[in-house]
A and B are shown apart, each in its own frame.
Chain A
Amino acid sequence: MVCNEFLTDIILTELEDAVGKENCSTREIDKITHGVDFFWLSRMWADRGRRMPEADFVVSPKDATETSKVMKIANYYKIPVTTWGGGGGSQGGAIPVAGGIVLDTKRMNKIYEVNTEAMYIECGTGAIYKHIEWAANEVGKATMHYPSSLTCSTVGGFLAHRGIGVVSNKYGKIDDMVLQMEVVLPNGDIINTSATPKHAVGPDLNQIFIGSEGTLGVITKAQLRIYDQPEERRFRGFLFQDMHGAFAASRELLQKFKPSVMRLYDEAETASLIKKIVGVEKKGAFMNIAYEGVKEMVEVEEKILLETFAKYGAEDLGSEYGEKWWKEKITFFYPGHMMDLPQMFGTMDTIATYDKIEKIYWAMKNAIETKYPFAKFIAHFSHWYEWGCMMYDRFIIDGEYVPKDPTEALKLHQEVWTTGIRTAIANGGVVNDHHGVGIKLGRFVHEQYGPAMQVLEGIKKQLDPNGIMNPFKLGL
């Protein structure tokens, strides 16, 4: 930890030497902007005129070599290093809660190779994912990783939080899309994971670093899969009377083929967001399905879809709502369209098998709405597998019920989360599906894993004995 002005100046000169003066900052604007990420608490804190914990230094290395130099300096002085990609994470993962160095990855945005023979792009992990999409589009391909934060967040951030996009059902989550990675370990060593992700040479190193949230090292380069653009992408909207029928219909559908988009909205979200943005006025649970690929296959898939959903009494709303949804899918996230301060809100995504997911939904809804009668609980289900699906559930508390005092607001926020996550775990869910843990949910990782936590802790201890990497995140 930086302790005095003299030492601070010494360290600054060493960091400048590592990354260049213009890429090493102690400027106030850099400290402020790296103190607030998408975490509601950091936003609320700033909104109430408080300064978040800030870095002592903000450095932007251009590659693994420069990152390695930064790590060696940090390890020598035992200074915390918090990696910052786009700062679009919602769990406070990129906030330098213990001060020290913020290592911003965005200068590591080089596209090294667009390989259409092996169908991957190799890039620096500081690249905004949209830029990787552009690079793929330039050769007529696509990344098929389309989170709502496609334009906000970096390759490294998505890897570090195990992110997911809207066409995940067909193309997978980010952890399905990586071939090889380069990682700088806390001691400054630069390592590469295996040349391909499928092998029998022990556990997959990729999967140790994917999801590690900057606690085990800095991912500096990655090879990400690209795909042919689908010949055709079709949409179909459906209205189920309730969610139960939709779960059964979807499970059956997924044993037959994989649509690209599957989004089921609970009655509350159908009546609010979907009504507002997509225009569905009817009561029930709206579900949007997209299926895509080679035209002949799409024809067959459409037939299977219509037959399967009809069996469960789904009303076919045609393609119009689905197309509108696709067009507006990112609009939901712009200020003016989504929840905002002074409201308190949070996305408690979880994932579970089909036999548990509905139970989790009702248990969480009851727990939150009973304990906090002023809170609304809404959900949609957006990433589906043959065995289960994820729930993107949100609580919303209107501004009038949110304490004015920031510390009191923080306490209420922590309490609501504790209620929600404990209920999810108790009913067979997990702490999180695709937003990660950060500082927000660190306390629950031990609760989920129990004695299995020693595996993660053992890796942490071996790789980062000085505990400099992103302290107080991921429960490590």
Chain B
Amino acid sequence: MYMSEKSKQIIDACRFCWMCRHICPVGNATGQERNTSRARALGLSVVNRGAAELSPDIMDNIYECQMCEACTCDCATGWDPTYFTKEVRLQAALDGKTPDYINAIVDKVLETGNIYGAKELDADLAAAIKAHAAKEDVILFLGAEARYNVPTAAQNAIKVLEAAGVKFTVLADEPASGYALDWLIGAADETKQQMTDCAAILAGYKTVVAFDPQDAKAFVREYKEYDLKVGAIVTFTAFVAGLIKDGALKVKNTGKAVVFQDPYQLARMLEETEEPRAIVSACATLNEMLLNRKDTVWAGGSFMAIYNPLVSELVSKERWTNAINVGADTIVTASVSEYAALKATAPEGKTVLSIEELVLSAL
């Protein structure tokens, strides 16, 4: 398998290093040694040296990484294990070595634009979207996860902007942002094509409000890498925080004690930690989990909930433990997929609220 010099260099740094294992949400949840950057790098270094084949179970291990970059963020030297993981995903796709369960998701994304293979929108959501068909300067990009997995989240996002009197467009046929293909098979031609198609549509708007941090991260990072021009990208949380600050969205503090689950895409990749906190603090009493902001821990959901549901469930339960350890009864999320995962694993008497649900309850 082809591997770039940069990947080889990172692999050779990580393969004998144990320093970031404590931070890996997957390793912490499964307790498996292979779920560490070290193990993944060691496996590949052994392959690179011809002492092992890139066997199906080494490939499985490549897909046991959520690409959450907690390890990257924690690394004092600045190595980024997701770099080689992403590259191997791409090369495996080119060499026909992608595991079948990943290919099945890729096929769905290519056919329908979403990882669930869903073709029909929820009827209520479709109606809510239709009300915003007119072209405005601002577009609310709902994202496939909200549209097809948690349609109530998409509806609530629309309601929040409506409550603030924002004029905005929502597309009935929203294109795929490309984040899913990027995660699944890296910088493949199909990924770039999806991103290029999406950028062409979004270029017609001055401001793109990205509801899902997964999409926001792709717009900011990968689109930039591929030199794709779109309007100004604003995360939903930054946009809503601005509306509250400007007085366009009037909320009252409900007094509810909550902790905020930073989506890793926002906190680590887009360096956005205070905007969602401004929203939560305006609507509730904000407490913190020990691992917050850049140190946040992925809380499950998304791809792994499809092909490795046990791992996703264990990861979510770990995050609930973090919340419970600081006495929290309610977790507020700003990621659609984490919302779904935490909701599915909420212990008795504990609640998960999406940030838009919290805002709507505080109007």
Contact = CB atoms under 8 A, between A and B. Distances in A.
Contacts of A32: 39, 42-43, 46, 52
A256 interface: no
A49 interface: yes
A135 interface: yes
B58 interface: yes
B18 A336 contact: no
B33 A87 contact: yes
B33 A49 contact: no
B14 A28 contact: no
Interface stretch (A149-157, A162-170, A430-438): A149-157
A50 B50 CA distance: 9
A107 B76 CA distance: 27
What is the size category of the interface that chain A forms with chain B? 35 or more
Contact of A152 (B18, B49, B55): B18
Contacts, number: 126
Interface stretch (A73-81, A233-241, A245-253, A327-335): A327-335
Contacts of A46: 15, 42, 45-46, 49, 51
A37 to B, nearest CB: 9
B1 interface: no
B17 interface: yes
B248 to A, nearest CB: 38
A335 B13 contact: yes
B103 interface: no
B34 A30 contact: yes
B157 to A, nearest CB: 33
B14 A335 contact: yes
A108 B22 CA distance: 15
A454 interface: no
B227 to A, nearest CB: 31
Contact of B76 (A22, A27, A88, A337): A337
B310 interface: yes
B16 A43 contact: yes
A34 interface: yes
A266 interface: no
A126 B33 CA distance: 11
B51 to A, nearest CB: 5
Contact of B79 (A29, A87, A335): A335
Interface string B13-40: 1111111111100011011111010110
B326 A86 contact: no
B156 to A, nearest CB: 32
B31 A109 contact: yes
Contacts of A87: 18, 33
B107 interface: no
A32 B57 CA distance: 11
A430 B94 CA distance: 56
B13 to A, nearest CB: 4
B221 to A, nearest CB: 24
B43 A29 contact: yes
A72 interface: no
A152 B36 CA distance: 10
Contacts of A107: 30-31
Contacts of B18: 38, 86-88, 149, 151-153
Among the interface residues A48, A134, A330, which one has the most CB atoms of the partner chain B within 10 A?
Answer: A134
B33 A33 contact: yes
B15 A336 contact: no
A28 B33 contact: no
B76 A334 contact: yes
Contacts of A28: 52, 55, 57-58
B196 to A, nearest CB: 36
Given A334-B17, A336-B13, A126 B39 contact: no
A285 interface: no
B212 to A, nearest CB: 29
Contacts of A48: 49
B42 A33 contact: yes
B290 interface: yes
B163 to A, nearest CB: 37
B348 to A, nearest CB: 19
Contact of A334 (B36, B55, B77, B310): B77
A182 interface: no
A224 B60 CA distance: 37
A108 B30 CA distance: 11
Interface in A85-123: 86-88, 104, 106-109
A49 to B, nearest CB: 4
Interface of A: 22, 27-30, 32-34, 36, 38, 43, 46-51, 58, 60, 84, 86-88, 104, 106-109, 126, 128, 130-131, 134-135, 137-138, 149-153, 330-331, 333-337, 340-341
Given A131-B22, A137-B290, A330-B19, 12 more contacts: A28-B57, A28-B58, A29-B57, A30-B33, A38-B16, A49-B51, A51-B52, A106-B32, A151-B22, A333-B19, A335-B13, A335-B17
Q: Which 3 A-B pairs have the closest CB atoms?
A: A152-B18, A49-B49, A107-B31
29 contacts: A27-B34, A29-B39, A29-B43, A29-B55, A30-B33, A30-B34, A32-B39, A33-B36, A33-B38, A33-B42, A43-B16, A46-B49, A51-B51, A60-B31, A60-B32, A87-B18, A87-B33, A106-B31, A106-B32, A108-B31, A109-B31, A126-B31, A128-B21, A128-B22, A151-B20, A152-B22, A333-B19, A335-B77, A336-B13
